[in-house]
Structure 1
Amino acid sequence: MAKQGPGPKPARRTPLQALLYWTAVLGVWGAIFVVAFLAVFATDLPDTSTLYDVERQPSISYLDQSGALVAVRGSQYAPPVDLDKLPPYVPKAFVAIEDRWFYWHPGFNPWGIVRSQIYNWTHRGEGGPLRGGSTITQQLARNLFLTPAQNYRRKAQELVLALWLEAKFSKKEILALYLNRVYFGGGAYGIEAAAQRYFGKPASQLTLGESALLAGMMKGPNRYSPVSQTDRAERRATIVLDEMVRTGAITAAERDAAFKTPVRVNPTLANQRAQYFTDWVDDQVRSLVGEPTEDLVVETTLDLPIQTAAEQAIRRGVEAGKGQGVEQAALVAIDGEGRIRAYVGGVDYNASQFDRATMAKRQAGSAFKPFVYLAAMDAGRTPGDMVVDEPIKIGNWSPRNYTGDFRGPMTLETALAQSINTVAARLASEVGTGNVAAAARRLGINSHIQLDPSMALGAVEVSPLEMAQAYAPFANGGFLAKGYGISRIRTASGKILYDHSVEKAARPQVIGSPSLQYMNQMMRQVVAAGTGTRARVPGYDLAGKTGTTSDYRDAWFVGYTGGFVTAVWVGKDDNKPMKRVTGGGAPAGMWRDFMGQALPRLKVQAIPGGTYTPPPSADPIGDLVDGIADAVTGGGQPTPAPATGPAPKAPADDVPY
């Protein structure tokens, strides 16, 4: 039998057959991977039935004493906008900077994911956030259903949900959902709320430049805020416009026209006023009623027309005082019940949110002297008592007058009106600094009061709110008037959660007679003929006290009429000296400016307690001699032992105006 040769060789696959074969193999493995991927990451996806639900933080609306809206705090939402009603460049701006392949990808961009993974690999160990290469669809999925956590599991779930969104909705619907739900910072969710928040207009009226600013914020709403990060936001908006040109969304000419069109950003919401006051009461709401679970309405004591007058007076006064180094100011006005009617914590809230009305503690200077004189009146002195302005040494401390000279015999009334330092120091030494401190605390000074002799001249750090409420008993008949700003808190449906009128305690009388009459008469003279004459408003019964501290670091005027008190402070945040600014200067001018507008609205009465009239004397010469003797000897009252060691540097006196 003939030997058989080898069998026929198997036919080699053509290139087309090889392509089909490996395509099938990869398809099978791809299907296995997809099934495994879904089994691992799609089993605990969130419920997508909440797609159209809006879950937001409750808002808090603040009203003034007449019901006018002061401010709204909390998240802001607006009705969704129709994409067809927006200028065409609005959605194009977001697509150009966030996802230029939006209309062509299936919900994710493979090349974007690859780029992000390369970045994450090359920057591993640096502790920064992971890059995800998310498309607009993925961002929408994350905003609607997922947490902000940056990990691979969440990214995988984001991808699954993006595919689901692409299968269920058109590209136009996805983009509309995105623009109506994305967060723009400042509490604004959605393009409509953002347009109102930053530009005070509906989204349908956005300009090209405004659209670019909003689109640029998507990289980081706080980092690229046009309010707080203006330069960075402008640079980002420029990048958005350049990308729009590169993708053909706009022409280079349209971009250049956008550069030339000014964009005006609202620093605060159109209805956000009295920001320092709102910050102050906002912190108190939660301590009074807990964390809100529904929208709240807070009825405050503020009077918006008076508040506006206060803000204007502060701005004008600081501007006028710039040449003397005046940089900041604060004002607090309260009525005789303690209700805060005006509250200004600084010149410009947008430039600095530091609240100088309550958070800043500055030396009171001679504005503290009324507490010294009140302690003396309580101890039996009268305004007509004679004293001597002469050199005095208490321990190692020798107070001096502003003018550097001494005026000799005078009444206590004149000494307070002219803010004589030696007399105040002697009085505090005679009655005891502890009694002076007790009088100040009784009237409403809550800050620490040191008992060194220099406290008589105001070496005590206080806030404008403290000073306003501590002067209120002089204005209301002698009753304590702790300053407060919240009258009532209720839910939007009307349920009362807090009512100050129900919870407030009885107000004790903290100044009796005749001390009240004596103090009011003496402080009237400060305004009528003393250091505070610049504060005079014709036709009103006014009283008060100036205050100036060492090296002109702080200047005060605290004044009042019947049932209404206003405290004004000026200075610098860094505590550096001003240029000879005294309490009778810039602060008194601001006080007069404000009170001139506020008093006609308030319809105030005369200061209660009557006036002091010295009794007639049968021997005026003898009374003068006895008064001088009492001033020199201490009036028969024991003088406390002087403090040991040098006293703190005392504030300077006020220059008479």
Structure 2
Amino acid sequence: MARGKKRSKQSGPVRKWFFRLVKTALVVGLLGFVALVVAVMVVRSSLPGYEDLKSSPNGQMIRVLDTNGRELISMGPSYGQWLDYSDIPQVMIDAMVAVEDRRFESHLGIDPIGIIRSVKVRLDRGHWAQGGSTITQQLARNIFLSNTRTFARKGREMLIALAMEGKFSKQQILELYLNKVYYGGGAYGIDAASRRFFAHSATELNLAEAAIIAGLVKAPSRYSPTADAQAAIDRASVVLSVMHDAGAITAAQAAETKPKAVKLAPEPRHNSVRYFTDWALPQLDLLIDETVEPIEVWTTLDLNMQRAATNAIQSRVPAGAQGALVAIDRDGAIRAMVGGTDYVTSNYNRATQAVRQPGSAWKVFVYMAALEAGYTPNDMVTDQPIQIGNWSPRNSGGRYAGDITLRTAFAYSKNTVAAALGNDIGTSTVANMARRFGITTKIDTNPSMVLGTSDVRLLDMTRAFASINAKGVAITPYAITKVSTMKGNVLYQNKFDGSRVLIDPWVAAGITDLMQTAVNVGTGKAAQIGRPVAGKTGTTSSNKDGWFLGFSSGLTTGVWMGRDDAKPVRGLQGGRAPASAFAAFMKTAVANRKIEKFDTELVLPDWQLEPDEEDLFGAPEDGIYVDENGMPIETGQGLEYDMEGGQAPGDPPQLDQEWIDSVLGRSEPSEQKKPADQPNRPAEQPPAPVSILPKPAPKPATQE
């Protein structure tokens, strides 16, 4: 009995201390719980509102598309379109919950079972190999914290997760998570990921695609389809297995779904396209004010034309030289832009930045000014040595043709005739014409300027030719057609303005007539493509620059070739490699367009017309001979003519207007009237048609 009392006395203090510990633990636990609740409430009150969390704080995403909606590049963090919970496919929700947080619907932001499992793996392996984070914790870390693995950061993550669960619904948390988590390839959110990897909106995701996206969260860089397609497919198979285990899909669905059969979006090209996007995208600052919401930029570029342009330049540019090409549609839309042979090695855009001498391509401004002053394509001019002050221009090859038409002088790019025209009408008039047509660089007014000694940009020159193609209406090149948000709200829409007329239609018809002749029988023959083409070659001294600019079927294209250091390029002439590149590009670019004949019929104003009886007649004098390619070679002897002034039977055809009309496919010879006498006009002379040499002769250097 005494022994029992003794045992009772000994156990009393132990029990007493035990209850004290329990009470203390309860009090501490209660105080801790209260402190946790208070902390959660404090954090909850400091959390941003739901609408604030929906914004994209990490920069604006810009998706750039070609004229047919194909992606060119994607810039900035890609957030895509924000999808409301009701718009998210159920297979996407099921896949993400199954693989990342199977007990998402039942926990309060923290999953004790997941934490215990994670700790157990940590003890077994000696390092953190498995996360116990819930979807809410991942969202908290993604928005508010870093990825550093410390207990302090983990504690803050849990606290914020609890606060978020208290402030937002499960659907809101899932909506935030699916629209904000990083999925690799620069894509944040399932819509950006879907567009990046599958080229369509996330609202169209099927089970296999959803499994691929859900599998990316664990390791975006490792499982990204763009980095390792096979790894992404293998990971998607794991996701499908987990979904089946979680009861989200049946065994049949898991077996029937083939991630390997998913068609991935092709990788956008990042080479020559970048010349265009680097020039176009800075213009957004002038077009829109939106700097936060993701946007889509619809451009004028046509990827098919761009590829053809790149191939044309790369395959035809002389060794050691560079090349550039710009193609402008009839409304000013830029369809192709190549700024060099390789963007990766040199991102310097020679189409928009380089300034080079245009050579004889500049003569379009000389001849347009002359036409506007009263000349016509049929007027007679004299190709002979000329002295203007201390300047004595010469033709290529040193040959002179004597009396020829203005059309022939342009076709064979006669330097002496251009110099005489410039001296007659004034070089300031030529400079004003060039400025009127969009030349933005400095223009000198020395007599030699008529031969293209002022530096120009390829884009400006192509713009000028496009305005000629538009029958004298000013064309402004543009690159951006439309800018809209991912939700479809239009922020900018381009509108074509065809109200500014630069020259009268008869002047545009006249220069087009000259340019078409230059391609058909003159220095630009290599630019022929089997349909009407009007254009002009250009070659600078010592073959430092080669140009060809022209148009057909509504598309105007300019080509430049040369060295960046302006050193001579052996054999480089505008009528060779540049004209050949023009033809190679245009054959593809206009293949599906309607064949269009040029309007070259001059309807002159009354002041420029004379009565028919004042037309001059008479036997032609000695003409020039040309080879089989239409290139002048030497002065020949006169032909025999019959009693009525016509050509004797059996003689070679005359290189007169009738012969040119036949070459150009015109049904009837032109009956253009002669201009009235004007001040400072060349003296009227009897027509001096030139003849075709019956025997082939060696082809001389291109007349530039």
TM-score with structure 2 length normalisation? Answer: 0.57
Match for residue 163 of structure 1?
A: 162
The Cα of 1:45 is off from its aligned counterpart by 1.7
Residues 170-225 of structure 1, C-alpha deviations (whole Å, 9 max, x = no match): 99998996455324577743246424413558585469999988865579xxxx99
- Tell me the residue number matched to 1:332: 327
Deviations 1:622-644 (CA, angstroms, capped at 9, x unpaired)? 999xxx9xxxxxx9799xxxxxx
Q: 1:311 aligns with which of 298, 306, 312?
A: 306
What residue is the counterpart of 2:126 in the other structure? Answer: none
> RCO higher in 1 or 2 (8 Å CA, sep ≥ 6)?
1
Alpha-carbon shift at residue 510 of structure 1 (Å): 1.7
Please tell me whether Structure 1 or Structure 2 has the larger radius of gyration of its CA atoms: 2
Cα offsets for 1:544-579 (capped at 9, x unmatched): 1112346656433211247x2412324479556665
- Which of 387, 410, 413 is 1:416 aligned to? 410
**Match of 1:531, SS?**
coil
Q: What is the CA–CA distance in structure 1 between the aligned matches of 2:35 and 2:438, rounded to whole Å?
A: 73
**1:449/1:23 Cα in 2 relative to 1: closer, same or farther (>3 Å)?**
farther
Map of 2:106 onto structure 1:
none
The answer to whether the Cα contact below 8 Å between 1:478 and 1:511 also exists between their aligned partners in 2 is: yes
- Counterpart of 1:182 in structure 2 is 181
Contact 1:417 1:530 in 2 (8 A): yes
State whether structure 2 residue 80 is matched by structure 1 residue 75: yes
Whether the 8 Å CA contact 2:114–2:133 is kept in 1: the answer is no
Cα shift at 1:452 = 4.9
Q: Kindly provide the amino acid, as one letter, of the partner of residue 324 in structure 1.
A: A
Cα shift readout 1:342-401 (whole Å, capped 9, x = no counterpart): 233457998599694863343233322211232344445555443446486865x77676
| 1:434 and 2:428 matched | yes
Equivalents in 1 of 2:516, 2:90: separation in Å? Answer: 65
Q: What amino acid does structure 2 have at the position aligned with 1:536? A: Q
C-alpha separation between the residues in 1 aligned to 2:385 and 2:370?
Answer: 19
Of 450, 462, 466 in structure 2, the residue corresponding to residue 472 of structure 1 is: 466
Q: 1:482 and 1:165 mapped to 2: Cα distance?
A: 54
Q: Distance in 1 between matches of 2:453 and 2:217?
A: 51
Q: Does residue 336 of structure 2 align to residue 343 of structure 1? A: yes
Of residues 32, 40, 47, the one that matches 1:45 is 47
Return closer, same or farther for 1:161/1:606 CA change in 2, 3 Å cut-off. same
Pairing 1:407–2:399 present: yes
Residues 350-369 of structure 1: matches in 2 within 5 Å? 356=349, 359-363=352-356, 364-369=358-363
* Alignment of structure 1 residues 554-565 onto 2, 5 Å: 554-561=545-552, 564-565=554-555
Query: CA shift at 1:40, angstroms?
Result: 6.2
Within 1, Cα distance between the matches of 2:264 and 2:483?
35
For the residues of structure 1 that align with 2:384 and 2:154, how far apart are their CA atoms?
A: 80
Provide the aligned length of Structure 1 versus Structure 2: 554
Aligned counterpart, 1:532: 524
For 1:5, the equivalent position in structure 2 comes to none
Distance 1:362 1:183, change over 3 A: farther
What letter is aligned with 1:558?
L
SS of residue matched to 2:159:
helix
Query: Structure 1 pair 572/636, CA: closer, same or farther in 2 (3 Å)?
Result: closer
User: In structure 2, what is the Cα distance between the partners aligned to 1:287 and 1:469?
Assistant: 21
Kept in 2: contact 1:276–1:349 (CA 8 A):
no
Does residue 1:582 correspond to 2:573, yes or no? yes
CA contact (8 A) 2:437 2:463 kept: yes
Indicate if the aligned counterparts of 1:90 and 1:211 stay in contact, CA closer than 8 A. no
Shift of 1:438: 0.6
- In structure 1, stretches of 5+ residues that fail to align are 1-10, 93-100, 111-132, 250-260, 629-634, 639-652
Letter in structure 2 aligned against 1:360: Q
- Residue type of the partner of 2:464? A
Distance 2:465 2:265 in 1: 41
Alignment partner, residue 95 of structure 1 = none
Percentage of pairs with the same residue: 29
Do the aligned residues in 2 keep the contact of 1:326 with 1:572 (CA within 8 Å)? yes
Query: Residue in 2 aligned with 1:510?
Result: 503
Structure 2: gaps (5+ residues): 1-12, 101-109, 120-131, 243-260, 625-634, 636-678, 683-699
Residues 285 and 189 (structure 1), Cα distance of their counterparts in 2 relative to 1, 3 Å cut = same
Which residue of structure 1 aligns with residue 139 of structure 2?
140
Q: 2:104 aligns to what?
A: none
Is the contact made by 2:40 and 2:162 (CA closer than 8 Å) also made in structure 1? no
- Equivalent of 2:536 in 536, 545, 559: 545
Pick the aligned partner of 2:557 from 567, 584, 598: 567
Equivalent in the alignment of 1:268: 268
- Is the Cα contact below 8 Å between 1:197 and 1:269 reproduced in 2? no
Change (3 A) 1:518 1:291: same
* TM-aligned CA deviation for residue 527 of structure 1: 0.4
Q: Work out the CA distance in 2 between the residues paired with 1:571 and 1:225.
A: 41
Q: 1:331 and 1:181, CA in 2 relative to 1: closer, same or farther beyond 3 A?
A: same
Is 1:584–1:654's contact at 8 Å kept on the other side of the alignment? no
Q: What is the alpha-carbon distance in structure 2 between the residues aligned to residue 427 and residue 59 of structure 1?
A: 51
Per the alignment, do residues 637 and 348 of structure 1 end up closer, same or farther by CA in structure 2, a change over 3 Å counting?
closer
1:334: Cα distance to partner?
2.3
Distance 1:399 1:293, change over 3 A: same
Return closer, same or farther for 1:457/1:601 CA change in 2, 3 Å cut-off: same
Most deviating of 46-55 and 479-488: 46-55
Partner of 1:523: 515
CA contact (8 A) 2:411 2:522 kept: yes
Letter in 1 for 2:290: E
Whole-angstrom distance in 2 between the partners of 1:570 and 1:31: 77
Letter in 1 for 2:336: Y
- Compared with structure 1, are the counterparts of its residues 637 and 525 closer, same or farther at alpha carbon in structure 2 (3 Å cutoff)? closer
* Counterpart Cα distance in 1 of 2:495 and 2:207: 44
| Partner Cα distance (2:111, 2:574) in 1 | 64
TM-score, normalized by length of structure 1? 0.61
Letter in 2 for 1:407: R
